[in-house]
Structure 1
Amino acid sequence: MSRFGIQRTLWLLVVLGLAGSALSAEPTPLEKVLTKKISFNAGTGAKEFAFRDLADDVQKFEPTFAIEIRDKDFLNEGFTRVNHRLERRYVDQTVAEILTALVLRENPIPKVKPHDPDQKIVWVIAADPADPAKQIILITTRAAAKKRGDKLPEVFERSPTVEP
């Protein structure tokens, strides 16, 4: 093998090694929390109460868990407070599934799917504005998340596959 061939092979091994380690990266602590199954009772009232109560429940096993509602994002899009939610109990669901269900309930357009552009309210994993080294959950609008460059969880991006 020529010197060029060896260098090219080494370069490919380095690139593939880096790609392989990036693909097998461990989930962050927050990503692990989102996959944990819990039971949660979402009461009636303003949206901040359901999210506050969920954060309180999760903090029992993960004290650093935090949810922040980006009120400014909602005001910029003309959202008003929604207080007409019905009480709902979530049993043996992941934290991510419960977050998704809560933002679906708060959406101004009822009964849309999470990936639908009419699902205006979303949650994202983002840096804590108060401590950028820490990750938190932000409750925000789809438009504000896009504007900031936040990565939406897959449930808000993908459309369901159609079975033949």
Structure 2
Amino acid sequence: MGATEPLSPLSRWYMYAIHGYFCEVMFTAAWDFTLKRDWKFHGVTSVWALFIYGTFMLVVEKLYLRLRNRHGTLVRCLIYTFLLYLWEFTTGFVLRQFNACPWDYSHFDYDIMGLVAPEYMVFWFLGTLILEKMVIWNILRLRFDEDGEPGFPGQSVMKRLD
């Protein structure tokens, strides 16, 4: 078997971005279905979500690696949720300056400038729990095969054809 190496930060960022993008589409589809019983199950997002989720999840990965031996899961996920709200507010505020903010929470009772909604806190907390326990944990375990061949690690395509 050939030597392996961890995924690069850019590769991990990409995987986190795609994961966040997919989750947002599925969440908005499920939310719309719950409110309107729309069986078409349309989900929506913005291209900005790739940058927003990818960057945030890469930061949470770094935090996880620093905090995992110091604090329990509950404390870590509370920290992630607080940072998520800060990140959502900041990115939304910047995007709003260019009329590009894809979300508006102004119809919620406790929104802050329409950019964050505390009503979503349980969903975000559960999202950070899943992020840490499933997504980050598995992405950090992924490795590139040094040979770079498709198929079985360490076995070239020609050997498999014999």
Greater relative contact order (Cα < 8 A, sep 6+) = 2
Q: Same fold (TM over 0.5)?
A: no
TM-score by length of 1: 0.26
Decide which structure has greater helix share.
Answer: 2
Decide which structure has greater strand share.
Answer: 1
